[in-house]
Each structure stands twice: as C-alpha cells, then as structure tokens.
Amino acid sequence: MNTSKSKKPLSKPNARPALDSTLSASKFAAWYWLKAELQTYCRAQGLPMGGSKADLAQRVGAHLGGTLASTAVQGNLPKAKLPEALHLHTVIQPGWALSHGLRRFFVSQVGEAFRFNQPLRALFQNPQGQTLGQAVDLYLQTRHQRRPIGAQFQFNQHMRDYFAQHPDATRGQALLAWREKRETAGSLR
C-alpha cells in the first residue's frame, strides 16, 4: 500500500516563471528571455513570429497586457538605383542599398579596412540631403569607436562589462556570473 502523496516540486520564491498567457506584462519584462522562447510563445498565441528579438519582446509584452511601443523604423524604403559615378559631392538618396558599388567608393576614399559601421548605416537609412563626402567624414570620425551593443544582446553586454570589471577573470567565471544574473528578476535592465 503506497501511502505517499504525490507532491508538487517546491519552487524557488524568485524562480523564473513560465512564459505563458497567465504572466503579467510587468513580470515578463523583469526576466531575460531567449529569442527562441519568444518565438515559441508567439507561435502558440498565433502572433507574428518575425523580427528581431526586441520586436518579439515588444509584441509578447503587448500581448500580455503591456503597451506596444511605436518604433522609429519606417520599414524598408523602395530601393533607389546607385548612380554610375560616385563623387564626394554626390547627394545620398533615400533607399540606397549598402552595396558593393558603394563599398568600392568608400574603399577608394579611406582604404581596404573600410566596413559599414552603425553610424554610416543610420546615415544611409535617413540621409536628409547628406553627401558622400559627409558620409566619409562621419566614417573617419567614428571608425575607432566601440560599437554599442543592442538592448537585445544582454549576454554580450554582460560579457563586455564583466571583463572590464574583472580583467583577470576566466570565461567560465563570466558565464557563471551570467547564469546567476539571468536567474534574478530585473537584473538585466
């Protein structure tokens, strides 16, 4: 005769909750979620699954009762044809793709080490009458800046910050600190 009662496993008081429709928007925002978890939730709820991790988090938060923040991204602009000849005084047109032809122009101006950095990408998304000469100047001013890490890449930001604070630490120590941080509500904000 089995007299033991089936017991539910004890949960930690601050344990990370399950991502389901019973979760409040504020509780959702307090925790770290993988993109795959956000996509799984969207699939189960019939929500669109496309976009960046930040887009998915906004969509899930709104579905859980939060507000959907409007984004400044206007969507894809219609592609504009790049002129045959590019010069420093050429005005950048909205919708130019960051193409091989444009890259060749920048390489001719600044050298083979050229890479489209974030300030240049932002300029080409919203050129507002800027010229290629101004774009070259912007690149030269910003090429050695550390790239900002997007809000959706909390792990990368943690690793950068951890090694800045603990230069002699090992990767294993940084990963252990990440796991502890990830399992603490609100620690990634």
Residue 144 has pLDDT above 60, yes or no: yes
Residue 75: pLDDT band by 50, 70, 90 thresholds?
A: very low
Both tokens of 145, joined, read: 């800046």
Q: What is the mean pLDDT of the chain?
A: 82
Residue 166 has pLDDT above 90, yes or no: yes
91: phi then psi, degrees, rounded to nearest 5? -80, 130
Decide which of 71, 91, 110 is a domain's last residue.
Answer: 71
Q: Are 111 and 126 in contact (CB under 8 A)?
A: no
Count of domains forming the chain: 3
User: Measuring CA to CA, which residue among 79, 68, 75 is closest to residue 29?
Assistant: 68
Residue 114 lies in a domain: yes
Residue 7 lies in a domain: no
Please tell me whether residues 169 and 112 are part of one structural domain. Answer: no
Residue 71: pLDDT band by 50, 70, 90 thresholds?
A: very low
User: Measuring CA to CA, which residue among 126, 128, 82 is closest to residue 105?
Assistant: 82
Both tokens of 62, joined, read: 């709104």
Tens-digit pLDDT profile for residues 123-133: 988 888 899 99
Please tell me whether residues 140 and 101 are part of one structural domain. Answer: yes
Decide which of 24, 40, 71 is a domain's last residue.
Answer: 71
Residue 148 has pLDDT above 90, yes or no: no
The better pLDDT of the pair 157, 4 is held by: 157
Residue 6 lies in a domain: no
Residue 9 lies in a domain: no
Residue 160 lies in a domain: yes
Please tell me whether residues 115 and 142 are part of one structural domain. Answer: yes
Residue 173 lies in a domain: yes
The proportion of the chain whose per-residue pLDDT surpasses 90, expressed as a percent, equals 29
The pLDDT, as a whole number, for residue 86 is: 92
Please tell me whether residues 85 and 123 are part of one structural domain. Answer: yes
Residue 4 lies in a domain: no
User: Domain range for residue 131?
Assistant: 79-148
What's the rounded mean pLDDT across residues 95-123?
Answer: 90
CA–CA separation, 19 vs 113, rounded Å?
Answer: 44
What's the rounded mean pLDDT across residues 2-26?
Answer: 68
The pLDDT, as a whole number, for residue 152 is: 67
